[in-house]
Amino acid sequence: MGINKVDQKSFRYKLLWNTINIWHELYYKYKIEITNQDRVPEKGAIVFTPNHQNALMDALALLFSVKRTVVFLARADIFKKKFFAEILYFLRILPVYRPRDGQGEVKKNLQTFKKTCEVLQKNLGLVIFPEGTHTDKQSLLQLKKGFAKIAMQTEESNDFKLGIQLVPVGISYTNYTQCQSTLSINFGHPIDLADYYEDYKKQPAIALNQIRDKMSASLKENMIHIEDDENYDATDFLMTSFAKKDRSNKKGESRIIAGQVFLKKLESFKNKHIDDYNELIENSNEFLKLTHQFNKRQKALFTRFTSVKLVLNSLLFLILLPILIPSALLHLPTQFLSHLPARYIKDKQFHSTFRFVLGFLILPITFTLEAIILNLACAEFSLLYFFLTYTISLIFILFNLNWLRNYFGYAKIQMYRMFNGKKAKETTSLITKIKHHVVQL
């Protein structure tokens, strides 16, 4: 395809876009929250600047949530091999060369800037991750000036006539390593680059710093940003366990907005009742230590656990078991193979990416192989019947995956309470104390 064609219409790209979009919707079980989309200008040159937590999945979140074609900028070292470079160009990704790549390589940015001008002139969107890397915390990293430099140099090369607007985008996941988590996308108010033209002409470095600081503040307003790094784990646990969505919000329910509201209440509680706040944090940290063998979801379930819930969920599990077992067996090869690489990848931010991509690639292969095996084993094999069974069972598994995780979480909590008497009493006591303080928020 080549760099010169990244902004051109392509039937193959559109076909791939539609196919991956379906898989993306299934991967998140349609639990995708998009708020304040009306803030995105319908026309004009736009650069989207989202926070970055989840490797490729963040890019897909933007790709499928905006109403215009978007082109991405990525670090140039992944373009070194021609084969991969062609794939990246096909996926509408442009290289950005950094000083560490060498001065000779940095000069190639002229070609990228030329192409970004063409992209923006055509009313396509440009996506730049301003943090320059990803993080495993729901906190904004120090922004790099690269996004501001690219946007302003693109303006400068076009005699400041493009009128670029920077749109901050907050992205959040209930669990960024797992499928079927909730994906939340929140668009911020555009930042008009024209406000900084005069400053840039006089003192470029100062103007770029101003744009960076403005974007940093705007992103924090539109994402979940936990400022307190020292008490991050306790704060994250409290927010995950007790933040509630406002169902009366006319702009739609949003985990991001719910998290922001909770964090503001927690900060207010800290300012007014510092001793109670310190006790709340201390109890939360102690609870996290006692339950270190539980994952993030299961720790939050402790705050909602009751024996009645466990019994009711057990009954439902037994009722669904005749459907769950064959469905799980049909899709076990895909599940196993798509999750296998995660064991060897230390950076958890790439786990979901590999699972998403491998699931997309492996699913048709396992379907074909299972169909061949069953055809050889069964004289009256029906491909249509198998296709319908395979599809329905896949949807059934995906739509019940979160419930199953919660059920097994409740069961694990019950086992913990049965065989860890002293610790179980301590955790129950701590949860009671935590709830007592949270009610006061």
Q: What is the per-residue pLDDT for 398?
A: 86
* 369: exposed, middle or buried (Cβ count in 10 Å: 0-12, 13-18, 19+): exposed
Q: What is the per-residue pLDDT for 388?
A: 93
What is the Cα–Cα distance from 90 to 92, expressed in whole angstroms?
A: 5
Q: Tokens in use for 81?
A: 């091999």
What is the Cα–Cα distance from 211 to 208, expressed in whole angstroms?
A: 5
Q: What is the per-residue pLDDT for 152?
A: 92
Q: What is the per-residue pLDDT for 170?
A: 97
Per-residue model confidence as pLDDT tens digits over 342-372: 888 888 888 898 899 999 999 999 999 999 9
Q: Which of 179, 43, 164, 67 is nearest to 113 (CA)?
A: 164
What is the CATH code for 3-222? 3.40.1130.10
In this prediction, residues 301-315 reach a mean pLDDT of 91
Per-residue model confidence as pLDDT tens digits over 1-59: 567 778 888 888 899 999 999 999 989 877 899 999 999 998 889 999 999 988 889 99
What is the Cα–Cα distance from 128 to 130, expressed in whole angstroms?
A: 6
Interior angle at CA 220, CA 95 and CA 168, nearest 5 = 45
What is the Cα–Cα distance from 127 to 401, expressed in whole angstroms?
A: 32
Is pLDDT of 248 > 60?
A: no
Q: What mean pLDDT value characterizes the chain?
A: 89
Is residue 438 a contact partner of residue 242, using CB atoms and an 8 Å limit? yes
Q: Tokens in use for 383?
A: 């491909």
Is pLDDT of 84 > 80?
A: no
* Of 205-214, 242-251, 340-349, the least confident: 242-251
- Each domain of the chain, given as residue ranges in start order, spans 3-222, 226-441
CA 110 from centre of chain: 31
What is the Cα–Cα distance from 201 to 204, expressed in whole angstroms?
A: 6
Terminal CA-CA length for the chain: 56
